[in-house]
């Protein structure tokens, strides 16, 4: 069986099994690999002038450089996961429409669209809903992202998938070229200034969300800041950098209060992929001595250097031992120490690989009119949410 996506990779029928679903009372079976349905009419169409006020958010899911071709064959598996996610809802609460290049989920007046780029190098997740349901929008996007990333982790273990958050103002104006914020800039801004301050962008990418043409990415620093239209069509009303509160939380402050941002997270929260990135950067001997050893001295672990050093054994990573020793150290302090010893490259890698946030369990903030329940994985379904208002 051959893939119907731009990258013709072989696919086993057992890899993506058919799914039983309900269609107007009839039992039908969905085969994601053979779904040649057309894109729904009016997909992500601008609301009418009399329509309700909406809030917008979106994420560009990108693999590391050199592994972009891994994304296209993954879409059928993600569609299977979305179908399992919908089946966790009560009958009639959620509507899922899937076609060869994407999926659309509508529940509670919130629309979520997952699409693949024409060249198969990245996936884009967009979401919009009523402005007074911003918290529900965040939790739905969080559940969908968690479900998708769990599939990616199962299929491509150890491959970090980056979240590049899209400018809400560009999504709201439905322009063809949306700007996105790289995770390294977003985390670095959170570590330095917190979630309410605008992101200070060293690199801002622009990609085409018009799926009739191939996407493009350019360095915004190469464009003239005096010409906002160079960044995006008709973007003169949206030239300021958004804050993490706008990018991640749909401008909902109560949601932000329920999150632990990177400055509040310990080193122990750093995932396996992030630890590997730091080990690759700090394990090799640096000609100026700016490696794991100097980092340990900078963080006050001079007396433990003998225990951290593995001698000539190449199978043991000194940096991995150091990170284990620093499990309770805040990520912000580790980031600052890397900058202080002159390893800005490692600090940038840490910012790109660090978790953006963690939910505070058992805390309020969603408001009395909203209840969000996240269930653990059951079977093939990774997670789901029930949002009642």
pLDDT in tens, 239-295: 678 999 999 999 999 999 999 999 999 999 998 889 999 999 999 989 899 999 999
Is 331 in contact with 263 (CB distance < 8 Å)?
A: yes
Is 271 in contact with 355 (CB distance < 8 Å)?
A: yes
Q: Which of 204, 252, 296 is nearest to 56 (CA)?
A: 252
Angle at 368 between CA 366 and CA 370, to 5 degrees: 55
- Name the least confident of 51-55, 140-144, 306-310, 319-323: 306-310
Q: Does the pLDDT of residue 203 top 70, yes or no?
A: no
pLDDT band at 65 (very low <50, low <70, confident <90, very high): confident
Domains identified in the chain and CATH numbers: 19-38+48-258+362-388 (3.30.310.200), 267-353 (1.10.533)
DSSP of 308-351, one letter per residue?
H--TT-TTS-HHHHHHHHTTTSBHHHHHHHHHHTT-HHHHHHHH
- The secondary structure of residue 47, as a DSSP letter, is P
Given this model, what pLDDT does residue 372 score?
34
Q: Can you say whether the dihedral through the CA atoms of 67, 73, 76, 80 is positive or negative?
A: negative
- Name the least confident of 15-19, 170-174, 237-241, 368-372: 368-372
What would the mean pLDDT of 336-357 be, rounded to a whole number?
Answer: 94
SS3 374: strand
Residue scoring higher pLDDT (148 or 92) = 148
Q: Which of 148, 145, 147, 139 is nearest to 388 (CA)?
A: 139
- Name the least confident of 103-117, 146-160, 305-319: 305-319
Mean pLDDT: which of 177-181, 211-215, 228-232 is highest?
177-181
Is 194 in contact with 263 (CB distance < 8 Å)?
A: yes
- Name the least confident of 163-177, 301-315, 367-381: 367-381
Bridge-partner residues for 200, per DSSP? none
- Cα 297 from chain centroid (whole Å): 34
Q: What are the phi and psi torsion angles at 342 (to 5°)?
A: 85, 20
Whole-angstrom distance, CA of residue 377 vs CA of residue 241: 36
User: Chain-wide mean pLDDT for the chain?
Assistant: 79
- Residue 359 tokens read as 């939910």
């Amino acid at each position: 069986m051959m893939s119907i996506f731009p990258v013709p990779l072989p696919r086993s029928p057992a890899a993506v099994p058919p799914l039983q679903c309900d269609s107007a009372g009839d039992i039908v079976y969905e085969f994601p690999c053979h779904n040649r349905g057309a894109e729904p009419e009016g997909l992500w169409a601008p609301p009418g002038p009399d329509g309700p006020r909406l809030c917008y958010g979106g994420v560009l899911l990108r693999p590391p450089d050199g592994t972009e071709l891994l994304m296209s064959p993954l879409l059928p598996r993600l569609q299977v996961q979305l179908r399992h996610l919908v089946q966790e809802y009560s009958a009639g609460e959620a509507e899922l429409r899937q076609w060869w290049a994407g999926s659309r989920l509508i529940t509670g007046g919130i629309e979520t669209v997952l699409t693949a780029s024409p060249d198969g190098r990245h996936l884009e997740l967009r979401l919009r809903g009523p402005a007074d349901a911003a918290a529900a929008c965040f939790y739905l996007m969080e559940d969908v992202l968690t479900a998708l990333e769990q599939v990616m982790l199962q299929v491509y273990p150890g491959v970090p998938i980056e979240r590049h958050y899209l400018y809400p103002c560009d999504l709201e104006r439905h322009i063809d070229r949306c700007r996105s914020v790289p995770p390294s800039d977003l985390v670095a801004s959170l570590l330095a200034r917190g979630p309410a301050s605008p992101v200070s962008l060293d690199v801002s990418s622009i990609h085409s969300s018009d799926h009739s043409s191939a996407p493009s990415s350019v360095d915004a620093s190469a464009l003239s800041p005096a010409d906002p239209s160079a960044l995006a069509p008709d973007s003169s009303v949206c030239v300021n950098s958004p804050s993490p509160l706008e990018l991640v939380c749909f401008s909902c402050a109560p949601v932000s209060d329920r999150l632990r941002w990177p400055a509040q997270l310990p080193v122990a929260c750093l995932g396996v992929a992030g630890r590997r990135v730091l080990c690759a950067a700090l394990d090799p001997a640096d000609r100026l001595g700016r490696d794991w050893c100097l980092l340990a001295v900078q963080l006050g672990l001079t007396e433990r250097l003998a225990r951290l050093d593995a001698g000539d054994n190449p199978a043991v990573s000194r940096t991995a031992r150091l990170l284990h020793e620093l499990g309770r150290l805040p990520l912000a302090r580790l980031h600052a120490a890397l900058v202080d010893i002159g390893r800005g490259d490692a600090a940038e890698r840490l910012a790109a690989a660090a978790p953006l946030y963690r939910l505070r369990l058992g805390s309020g903030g969603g408001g009395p009119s909203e209840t969000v329940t996240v269930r653990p994985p059951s079977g093939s379904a990774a997670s789901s949410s029930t949002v009642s208002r």
